Chains A and B, each alone.
Chain A
Amino acid sequence: MNIHITKFFYGDYGEIEGGAPAPVNNREWPLWEVFIRSKQGLDHKHVGSLHAADAAMAIENARDVYTRRMEGVSIWVVESKYIHASNPTEAGALYDPANDKIYRHPTFYQLPDELKYM
Chain B
Amino acid sequence: MDANKLAEQFQQKIDADIKIEPQDWMPDEYRKTLIRQISQHAHSEIVGMLPEGNWITRAPSLRRKAILLAKVQDEAGHGLYLYSAAETLGITRDEMYYQLHSGKAKYSSIFNYPTLTWADMGAIGWLVDGAAIMNQVPLSRCSYGPYARAMVRICKEESFHQRQGFEILLTLSKGNAAQRKMCQDAINRWWWPSLMMFGPTDNDSPHTAQSMKWKIKRFTNDELRQKFVDVCAEQVKFLGMTLPDKDLKWNEERKHYDFGPINWEEFWNVVKGNGPCNKERLATRVQAWEDGAWVREAALAYEEKKSARKYAFQNTAKSTENAPAFQ
Contact = CB atoms under 8 A, between A and B. Distances in A.
A51 B34 CA distance: 21
Nearest to A5: B271
Given A12-B40, A13-B106, A54-B306, A65 B199 contact: no
B93 interface: yes
B135 A10 contact: yes
Contacts, number: 124
A57 interface: yes
B300 A29 contact: yes
The winner among A13, A51, A85 for most chain B CB atoms within 10 A is A13
B104 A19 contact: yes
Interface string A61-102: 000110011000000000000000101110000000000000
Interface in A1-32: 5-17, 19, 21-23, 25, 27-29, 31
B221 A8 contact: yes
A51 to B, nearest CB: 6
The winner among A12, A57, A87 for most chain B CB atoms within 10 A is A12
A24 B99 CA distance: 13
B158 to A, nearest CB: 13
B253 interface: no
Contact of A65 (B36, B77, B139, B146): B77
A23 B102 CA distance: 11
Interface residues of B, number: 64
Nearest to B147: A11
Nearest to A12: B37
B36 A10 contact: no
Q: How large is the interface on A (under 10, 10 to 19, 20 to 34, 35 or more residues)?
A: 35 or more
A89 B37 CA distance: 26
Contacts of A69: 157
B105 A16 contact: yes
Contacts of B74: 68
A27 B40 contact: no
A102 B87 CA distance: 39
Interface string B260-283: 000000000001000000000000
Interface string B181-209: 00000000000000001111000111110
A9 B199 contact: yes
Contacts of B24: 88
B54 interface: no
A49 B299 CA distance: 19
Contact of B80 (A27, A28, A29, A65): A65
Contact of A6 (B92, B106, B206): B206
A4 to B, nearest CB: 11
Contacts of B296: 27, 29, 53
A16 B38 CA distance: 13
Given A12-B36, A48-B81, A65-B77, A7 B205 contact: yes
Interface string B231-256: 00000000000000000000000000
Contacts of B108: 10-11, 13
Contact of B93 (A6, A17, A51): A51
Nearest to B102: A19
Given A10-B135, A22-B95, A50 B271 contact: no
Contacts of B157: 68-69
A17 B84 contact: no
Nearest to B271: A13
A89 B200 CA distance: 39
Question: Closest 3 A-B residue pairs measured CB to CB?
Answer: A11-B41, A13-B106, A53-B299
Interface of A: 5-17, 19, 21-23, 25, 27-29, 31, 48-51, 53-54, 57, 64-65, 68-69, 85, 87-89
